[in-house]
């Protein structure tokens, strides 16, 4: 009986080494193995199918990948499954992690970990100063709406051209913070549980402070060259976001030069041939009222 138990342990240990090798090119299988980004049980996030679509063409490139949020909650020795997943799937890449808890015990070859808060602009800039420009950034951090927005504003400029920025678990946009005496002691001592009481979402789908509404506003910037609005000054995001993909609880944003131009509008006024076709010399003759347009990078 003892021998049988020993053999089972050996087989189990060896299988854990073999499975990542066998399924190294199948992100969904790897995600199941590492128990992250994909699940078959009710309530699991099913991100791997989307990641595979976007990552498969670049998986063998030497990339720099940063993930915010390492997992394992308050235990400094637990978590890191996603970092190992990315290390296996991107065999030539360097993987970086950020967590508010010290998770350096989980470091290994091609995995480096920083401790700090994702809403600390100075800390994030120090991380970037060490890593250099990044190819992929994945925000799986606190999921507090304000944190997701502030991290994006700081880190998106640190992406290389053609880089990909991802925000997970956007469902907290629809959860209001839990305030009042009833919740004052909820989750005390647990970074994760305490964060659930202050996610900063809203029951109002038009609330401008949620991360989903922040990213939805950026969609218009894809077409900023079509804005019929004299004097409009494009934001950094207008000029550097080339596509956005929205999935269930997931936003994927590509960086590049958004400068295709418009065949109708130039410098946010109608081109001369359009004015001529309309029989006018300037937009003023159309007697239009131009509303103020907020700059997303100034919000």
Place of tokens 């997992």: 71
Catalytic residue (one of 45, 50, 54, 143): 143
Is 197 in contact with 272 (CB distance < 8 Å)? no
Is 235 in contact with 258 (CB distance < 8 Å)? no
Helix (H, G, I), strand (E, B) or coil at 281: coil
**Kindly report the CA angle at 150 between 145 and 156, in degrees rounded to 5?**
120
Is 248 one of the catalytic residues?
no
CA 98: distance to chain centroid? 13
Listed residue (23, 106, 88) closest to 97, CA to CA: 106
Helix (H, G, I), strand (E, B) or coil at 208: coil
Long-range contacts of 174-182 (CB under 8 A, 24+ apart): 174/201, 174/202, 174/203, 174/205, 174/210, 174/212, 175/199, 175/201, 176/201, 176/202, 176/203, 177/201
Positions marked catalytic: 143
């Amino acid at each position: 009986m003892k021998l049988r138990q020993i053999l089972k342990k050996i087989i189990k240990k060896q299988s854990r080494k073999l499975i990542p090798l066998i399924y190294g090119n199948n992100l969904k299988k790897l995600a199941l193995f590492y128990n992250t980004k994909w699940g078959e049980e009710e309530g699991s996030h099913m991100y791997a199918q989307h990641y595979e679509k976007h990552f498969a063409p670049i998986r063998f490139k030497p990339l720099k990948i940063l993930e915010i949020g390492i997992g394992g909650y308050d235990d400094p020795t637990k978590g890191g499954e996603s970092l190992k997943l990315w290390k296996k799937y991107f065999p030539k890449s360097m993987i970086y992690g950020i967590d508010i808890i010290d998770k350096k015990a989980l470091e290994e070859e091609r995995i480096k970990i920083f401790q700090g808060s994702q809403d600390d602009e100075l800390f994030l800039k120090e991380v970037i100063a060490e890593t250099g420009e990044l190819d992929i950034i994945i925000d799986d951090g606190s999921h507090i709406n304000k944190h997701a927005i502030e991290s994006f504003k700081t880190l998106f400029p640190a992406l290389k051209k053609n880089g990909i920025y991802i925000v997970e678990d956007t469902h907290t946009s629809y959860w209001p913070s839990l305030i009042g005496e009833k919740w004052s002691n909820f989750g005390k001592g647990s970074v994760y549980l305490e964060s659930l009481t202050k996610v900063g979402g809203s029951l109002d789908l038009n609330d401008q402070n949620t991360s989903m509404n922040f990213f939805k506003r950026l969609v218009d910037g894809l077409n900023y060259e079509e804005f019929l609005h004299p004097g409009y000054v494009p934001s950094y995001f207008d000029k550097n976001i080339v596509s956005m993909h929205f999935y269930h609880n997931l936003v994927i944003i590509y960086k590049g030069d958004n400068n295709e131009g418009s065949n109708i509008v130039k410098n946010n006024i109608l081109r001369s041939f359009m004015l001529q076709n309309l029989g006018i010399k300037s937009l003023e003759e159309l007697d239009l009222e131009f509303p103020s347009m907020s700059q997303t990078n100034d919000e």
